[in-house]
Amino acid sequence: MSRNNRSTRGGRRPQRHKDVLHTHGGHRANDFRCTSCRLDVSLDAPGTAHRNHCPHCLASLHVDRKIPGDRDADCRGRMEALGLSVRPDGEWMIIHQCVSCGELSANRIAGDDNPLALVRLALRPLADPKAAGRVLLTL
Amino acid sequence: MSSHTTNNNTLSLSTFACAWCGLTVSAHAADGAARNHCPSCLHSRHVLDHVEGGPSDCEGRMSPIAIAVLRTGDWMLIHRCVRCDELTSNAVCTDDNQLILMRMAVRPLAQPPFPLEAFGTL
């Protein structure tokens, strides 16, 4: 019955104009959702102008290829925090590794990153008694 | 030990000079694993393109910046090219300089961006 009605009217019913934009300048233009823990993250981060990882679980998304911000990668895989590096000026960098293609990238930490997750990442080489103990014994 | 062979039974020994400290390093470790960084200063050279997989035309020096841990518990060494900022990860050899390895592992805890005293009560 309803199918007949629609076919006699011809074409699609005109849609209502959308005044709520979910992307491209809408209310979620500056947000992203973490691919690992599904947290909605705002791009406004204290201490950095380029937030690229979730402050809760430190996961990121593989969107950049060579230059940060070029959005040139076709992978779009999830990038998990692999280790921590320290710049000569004492700033911590998170080393991310893409889960699907294995690419590495380094990101500065932000001011609201989870300190417990950061310290767990920093302690990861020392947590395993096998590798760390072997290093300390051969010193 | 030079690279020339006297007869067919001796292995040819390939070496490379470290880009940072100049040490002449054999390309294979004692257990036969291929070596790609200097065991003394842990610096490497950017000869393999990580994205395309072929040989790289950068040839820049790669300095060690971080320690990563595999699920098996083995340590990996993260290198960064000083010319093109490419990152690579390499397995740690058994005769690598353990002082530099341990210094890199505890480096984040020496300069924490937030006070670590609060973690004592957790």
Residue of B80, B101, B107 lying closest to A135 (CB–CB): B101
What pLDDT digit, counting tens, does each position of A71-115 carry? 778 888 999 999 999 998 989 999 999 999 888 999 889 989 999
- For residues A68 and A56, give the distance between their C-alpha atoms in angstroms, rounded to a whole number: 21
Instruction: Identify which has the larger pLDDT, A15 or B83.
Output: B83
| Measured CA distances, A81 to A97, A117, B13, B68 (Å) | 6, 10, 38, 10
The domain total for chain A is: 1
Q: Which helix (H) or strand (E) holds A9?
A: helix A2-9
In angstroms, the separation between the Cα of residue A131 and the nearest Cα of chain B is 6
Chain A residues lying within 8 Å of B77, measured CB to CB:
none
Coil/strand/helix, residue A19: coil
Asked if the C-beta of B72 comes within 8 angstroms of chain A's C-beta atoms, the answer is: no
Q: Specify if A45 maps to a domain.
A: yes
User: What ipTM, to 2 d.p.?
Assistant: 0.79
Mean pLDDT, chain A, integer: 82
pLDDT in tens, B53-80: 678 888 899 999 999 998 888 899 999 9
- Answer whether residue A88 is part of any domain: yes
Domain ranges of chain B: 15-105
Domain span including residue A117:
22-127
Q: Is residue A68 part of a domain?
A: yes
Which of A4-18, A33-47, A114-128, B22-36 is most confident? A114-128
**Tokens read off for B109:** 């805890």
C-alpha to C-alpha distance for A70 and B94, rounded to whole angstroms: 39
Three-state DSSP at A8 gives: helix
Q: Phi/psi at B119 (nearest 5 deg)?
A: -75, -15
Q: What is the DSSP secondary-structure string of B54-115?
A: SB-S---EEEEEEEEE-TTS-EEEEEEETTT--EEEEEPPTTS-HHHHHHHHHHHHHS-SS-
Domain assignment present for residue A8? The answer is: no
Q: Which two tokens stand for residue B104?
A: 């890199």
Asked if residue A3 belongs to a domain, the reply is no
Chain A residues in contact with chain B using a Cβ-Cβ cutoff of 8 Å: 65-66, 82-86, 90-93, 95, 97, 103-106, 109, 115-116, 119, 122-126, 128, 130-132, 135-136, 138-139
Contact B101 A84 (CB under 8 A): no
Q: Which residues in chain B are contacts of A109 at CB distance < 8 A?
A: 113
pLDDT at B5: 42
B/e letters for A87-113, b = 16+ CB within 10 Å, e = fewer, are eeeeebbbbbbbbeeebbbbbbbbebb
How does pLDDT run along chain B (122 residues), one tens digit per residue?
A: 444 444 555 556 788 899 899 999 888 888 878 888 999 999 999 888 776 667 888 889 999 999 999 888 889 999 999 988 889 999 998 889 999 999 999 999 998 888 888 888 87
Q: Tell me if A95 and B66 make a contact (CB, 8 A cut-off).
A: yes
